[in-house]
Amino acid sequence: MSEDEVAVTGLGLVTAAGVGAAATWDGLLSGRSRAAPDPLLAGLPVGFSCRSDFDAGAALGRRAAARLDRFSAMAVAAAREAVADAGLDTTAWDPLRVAVVIGASTACMEHYDREFAWIADGRPERVSPMAIMRSIPNMAAGEVGLDLGARGPNLAVSTACASGASAVGVARDLVRAGSCDIAVAGGSESLRARSTAVGFHQMRALSVRGHDPEGASRPFDTDRDGFVLGEGAGLLVLERPAHARARGARPRALLRGYGASCDAHHTVAPHPDGRGAADALRVALADAGMTPGDIDHVNAHGTATRINDLTEFRALARVFRDPPPVTAPKGVLGHSAGGAGGIEAACCVLTLQHQLIPPTANLDNPDPAIPLDVVRKAPRRARLTAAVSNSFGFGGQNAVLVFSTS
């Protein structure tokens, strides 16, 4: 390992497929969507989501669950798993040398919905004094730092649906710069809120396949009609190689490159030819010292919206002469916005580690306008040495991570 590289020594996941990295991985391999009717969204134009069975009270205790917003609670649980997976002892590390960087966009609007209802009802005295501090986007990072006793740089990153991947990239830069020895990084978010569901529906971004929720998230399929609201947290432990070696840690993978760009095109729509996404991909490859031919797999952003899937294909086509095999985890997990980039970075690491590409759910009729080799129906065994994970967001935000086995 070069000291310019960063080791991924631990993973933690909370997703609609299950709590923990093992449960999430098994869910991805099943290729079955976790979308189902959601009582929280009952009566709305879109009343289903990909929700996690995460129980904050059982995982963190009743007092913590009462204090924390759901996105913060999921982040704390994922951080605990990631740190344990890395074999780290929080009582033995130097807390000033441990950073936390977590991405979020809306974070979670569920509590805001409840508190705003009191104001609308003419009873502002019922608004919780915790309302603001519980829901602001930096609280996931703050609560993880508090829980772990990590006193180094503590940052929130918000680049819409690229937030989790951007956070991993920023954390990588902190490790490389020597600002910390260890960074806990990724994303956490829950889109399961009534205001969020209505807002995205009004934008025509959500699937309206209410008669068949499990078949609603269809990345790269001809019949795709939008994404499915999701939730979850995905966190990675990043370390300087020398630090990992000194404690005998065996990396799951190496984070070799990070690229970021802005489309500077439109508030919501990506650049139609994928220019900005392609720029981020090229920057990430150059940062990793790799060429497109070195990449064996693409973990796609794959939202299942008509424009975004086509644009992502065009971005890949601008960089790769023949794009490598692709998967899109949002078919199974739904879209957790700011959490997605961290979750999918962890999924990308697991794909390399297991040398197995999970299938894309609900890809029954591949779109002929998107001639990619998208893995579907069943997992595919492959020889994988390097992979990229794509994340794109509103505002033209693009973030690409490059991982390798060595």
Q: pLDDT, tens digit, for every residue of 44-97?
A: 999 999 999 999 999 999 999 888 999 999 999 999 999 999 999 999 999 999
Indicate whether 29 pLDDT > 60.
Answer: yes
In the predicted model, what is the mean pLDDT of the chain? 95
What one-character DSSP code corresponds to residue 159?
A: B
Contact assessment for residue 315 and residue 281, using Cβ atoms and an 8 Å cutoff: yes
Q: What is the DSSP string of 197-246?
A: HHHHHHTT-B---TT-GGG---TTBTT---B-BBEEEEEEEEE-HHHHHH
Torsion, Cα of 291, 293, 299, 304 (10° steps):
100
Is the pLDDT reported for residue 106 higher than 90? Answer: no
State how far the Cα of 357 lies from the Cα of 391, in Å rounded to an integer: 18
First to last CA, the chain: 7
Mean pLDDT, rounded, for 16-43: 97
User: Quick one: pLDDT at residue 303?
Assistant: 97
Q: How far apart (Å, rounded) are the C-alpha atoms in residues 306 and 205?
A: 9
Residues 108-161: pLDDT tens digits? 777 778 877 888 888 888 888 777 777 788 999 999 999 999 999 999 999 999
Geometric angle at alpha carbon 406, from 399 and 246, rounded to 5°: 100
- Using CA atoms, how far apart are residues 395 and 338, in angstroms rounded to an integer? 13
pLDDT in tens, 335-391: 999 999 999 999 999 999 999 999 999 999 999 999 999 999 999 999 999 999 999
Q: Is 54 left (phi over 0), alpha (psi -120 to 50) or beta?
A: beta
Quick check: 273 pLDDT over 90?
Answer: yes
pLDDT, residue 3, reads: 58
Across 197-204, average pLDDT:
95
CA distances from 319 to 262, 386, 394 (A): 17, 16, 22
* pLDDT computed for residue 281 by the predictor: 98
- Cα(278)–Cα(296) distance, integer angstroms: 17
pLDDT band at 1 (very low <50, low <70, confident <90, very high): low
Long-range contact list for 306-309, CB < 8 A, 24+ apart?
Answer: 306/224, 306/225, 307/269, 307/270, 307/272, 308/270, 308/392, 309/219, 309/220, 309/224, 309/367, 309/370
Per-residue pLDDT, 263: 94
Hey, which residues are catalytic here?
161, 301, 335
3-state SS class at 263: coil
**CA 29 to centroid of chain Cα atoms:** 17
Quick one: CA torsion of 333, 339, 344, 349, rounded to 10 degrees?
-130
pLDDT at 112: 77
Please choose, from the candidates 179, 192, 260, the residue with its C-alpha nearest in 3D space to the C-alpha of residue 232: 192
Cα distance between residue 73 and residue 251, in whole Å: 26
